[in-house]
Structure 1
Amino acid sequence: MTRIAAGLVTLLVVSFVIYAATRALPGDAAQIILGRNATPELVAELRSRLGLDIPLPVAWWNWLTSALHGDLGVSTAALAQNNTVYVSDQIGDLLRNSAILAGLTMLILIPLCLVLGTWMGLRAGRIGDRIASQTMLVLGSLPEFVLGTFLIAIFFAWLHVLPPLAMLGANGNPLAQPVSLVLPILTLLGVLVAFVARQIRAGVIESLRQDYVTMARLSGIGEPRVVRRYALRNAMAPSLQAIAQSIQYLLGGIIVVEALFAYPGIGQALVKAISLRDVALVQGIALILAASYIAINILADLLVMLMVPTLRTAAR
């Protein structure tokens, strides 16, 4: 409960920072949105609709309480065109698309890293482990846009087998065009697999050095069972933190990848909203990302506590 309460307090503070930062942008937001159509009357009306004519703490609290009820406000870019588009409706499909991309990436990443990290840990110091470690070190050091551009050059410009952009079709469902997901997923995997697999490798190596593993081997227990029941199981606690950190990193990396491949998700929407100065959309997406980040961190802590009983005792 302490961690959950701390997470809620953190989200409260972060939400204020998000709202205050977007409101503190230079220039009058209403004036900028209206552009050439700006008149004193229209500017005053738009400032009222955006909550710019009331004190910051009051405006923030009104926005936050509305957000908790699912109302993230009205798109300010749409208001400039005399349209009313609610942010919650605007990002519904985009959030689904980003969740599909992130979910499929993690669905591949976790078993891949478990197998690869365990294999490297069992062969620590050998030629296979050294090659794999150096390869992942190179992949992990590349920014997403560099790795993504490199993959586009290989699979599109050279091999002509994958599209460089995510063309999702009329319904906008990425699952209807799975080929468009391949390059974005490969880009995210290339960046994340290095970190997670190396953490699992380190955990396996550390577990294999423990006395209980030596006793299990001396007792005649087969090596596959020793690895599965003792080494890998005890290496999973720190590995869960690494997986949680990779998911949190994914929330930021997905913005770059979606923009690179023109993938219609919240990452690309955030980039466009910033360029259009759609304050309400920026606030809504930033709040969702912050809440997701905090929730993942809390969930990882709870899972580690369930796996390590001593941590449950210490937390009481």
Structure 2
Amino acid sequence: MPGNVAHIILGPGASAEQVAQLNQNLGLDQPLLSQYWDWLSNVLTGDMGNSLVSGQPVSELLAERIFNSATLTVIAMVLILPLSLLVGLLAAVFRDRLLDRSYLGTSLIVTATPDFVIGSLVIALFGTVVFKVLPPVSLIPPGDAPWEHPRQLVMPLAVMVLVGVTYLSRLVRVSFIDVLESEYVQLAIIKGLSMRRILFRHALPNALAPSIPAASIMAAYTIAGSVVIEYLFAYPGIGSALVDAVAGHDLPMIQAIIMLMAVAFFCFNQLADVLGTLNKSR
């Protein structure tokens, strides 16, 4: 990482001796491999170290941030799953019609647009330029739960849900189309069963099974994508904490956040593999 955290802490007027002394006190004069080994050894004992900027324990600084990010992710997934199912089902039932074509065109545009561009458009539309009905940033006072300030959650959730539904509903649509074209569904149609019964009793369980592992992967990508969204909306989660830590050259904070995000990403991917294996065994 370019720059020196000692210069940032001491300021531009610090002497070379002061910088060298602070580097020694912080252990930054040691080789990188030695620093990494010391950090990893401490992490395995539950000690993530202290922030180089504030001097406070990293675990204390991240506790509330993790809770805020987890809250945002859980609410987003609760909204993404049923909406993806509904949108994918409608697109499959009205395949190649105006509704389906409009959906495919819109989803293609959303998929090709970076999250920060979508977020900036949402801020301009609802927060600063056009309607001005929502706060442009999602600042939450320390100690308050995110759901105590629902208006601050609307725009970041809107971006996360829009991106998530666009991805997952396409998979649901493909699954539904495959099921609707299967022989047993065609036989049910010939027998005169109602389309409602065919969709919800026969097609839905079989189309939903391949989408469940994808939902786990979607949760992992939601966590990874939260860095941009949280920073854009100034939401006090681990994503914005990571950006602040990089700007302040706070290496222990950076290492802890990346490790936590990697563990979460790994767990959700493993869950997707397990669910996929169970689905194949059925």
DSSP-derived class of the 2:210 partner: helix
Q: CA deviation at 1:93?
A: 0.4
State the match for 2:226 in structure 1. Answer: 254
Correspondence for 2:53 among 44, 52, 77: 77
Give the number of aligned pairs: 280
Q: 1:34 Cα deviation (Å)?
A: 4.2
Question: Is 1:90 the counterpart of 2:61 in the alignment?
Answer: yes
2:27 match: 50
Q: Which of 157, 161, 166 is 2:133 aligned to? A: 161
Structure 1 residues without counterparts, runs of 5 or longer? 1-24, 79-83, 311-316
Residue 266 of structure 2 aligns to a residue in which SS?
helix
Q: Provide the rounded CA distance (Å) in 1 between the counterparts of 2:81 and 2:139.
A: 27
Structure 1 residue aligned with 2:263: 291
Cα 1:48–1:200, aligned 2, differ >3 Å: closer, same or farther? same
Q: Which residue of 2 aligns with 1:101?
A: 72
- Contact 1:33/1:277 (8 A) holds in 2: no
Amino acid paired to 2:126: F
* Residue 230 (structure 1) shift: 3.1
Provide, for residues 20-65 of structure 1, a one-character-per-residue CA deviation record: whole Å limited to 9, x for no partner.
xxxxx34555566545445547635644543652571x54343223
2:166 pairs with 175, 194, 198, which one?
Answer: 194
2:151 maps to what in 1? 179
SS in 2 for 1:72: coil
Residue equivalent to 2:98:
127
The alignment yields a C-alpha RMSD, in angstroms, of: 2.3
Deviation, 1:101, is: 1.0
TM-score (normalizing by structure 2): 0.89
Query: Alignment partner of 1:181: what SS?
Result: helix
Task: State the partner residue of 2:209.
Answer: 237
Q: After TM superposition, give the deviation of residue 248 of structure 1 in Å.
A: 2.2
Q: Which amino acid aligns with 1:154?
A: L
Task: Output the CA distance in 2 between the equivalents of 1:59 and 1:274.
Answer: 17
User: Does the C-alpha gap of structure 1 residues 237 and 66 become closer, same or farther in structure 2, counting only changes over 3 Å?
Assistant: farther
Q: Equivalents in 2 of 1:266, 1:38: separation in Å?
A: 34
Rounded to whole Å, the distance in 1 between the matches of 2:263 and 2:66 is 13
231-240 or 260-269, which deviates more: 231-240
1:302 — aligned with what?
A: 274
Deviation at 1:150, TM superposition (A): 1.4
Is the Cα contact below 8 Å between 2:189 and 2:195 reproduced in 1? yes
Q: Deviations over 1:201-238 (max 9, x none)?
A: 01110111222323344455443333233322222233
- CA distance change for structure 1 residues 60 and 170 in 2, over 3 Å: closer, same or farther? closer
Alignment of 1:15-26 (within 5 A): 25-26=1-2
Of 85-94 and 33-42, the range deviating more from structure 2: 33-42
Which of 265, 268, 277 in structure 1 is aligned with 2:240? 268
Q: Secondary structure at the match of 1:155?
A: helix
Q: Which moved more, 1:159-168 or 1:91-100?
A: 159-168
Match of 2:42 in 1: 66
* Structure 2 CA distance for partners of 1:91 and 1:160, relative to 1, 3 Å: same
Q: Distance in 2 between matches of 1:212 and 1:160?
A: 52
Distance in 1 between residues matched to 2:189 and 2:231, nearest whole Å: 51
Indicate conservation of the 8 Å contact 2:5/2:52, yes or no: no
Measure how far apart 1:259 and its partner are. Answer: 1.0
In 2, are the aligned partners of 1:142 and 1:191 still within 8 Å (CA)?
A: no
Q: Equivalents in 2 of 1:300, 1:239: separation in Å?
A: 10
Question: Are the counterparts in 2 of residues 195 and 242 from structure 1 also a CA contact under 8 Å?
Answer: no
| Separation in 1, partners of 2:43, 2:50 | 11
In structure 2, list runs of 5 or more residues that go unmatched. none
Identity %: 34
Distance (whole Å) between structure 1 residues aligned to residue 218 and residue 4 of structure 2: 38
User: Could you tell me whether the CA contact under 8 Å between 1:113 and 1:193 is conserved in 2?
Assistant: yes
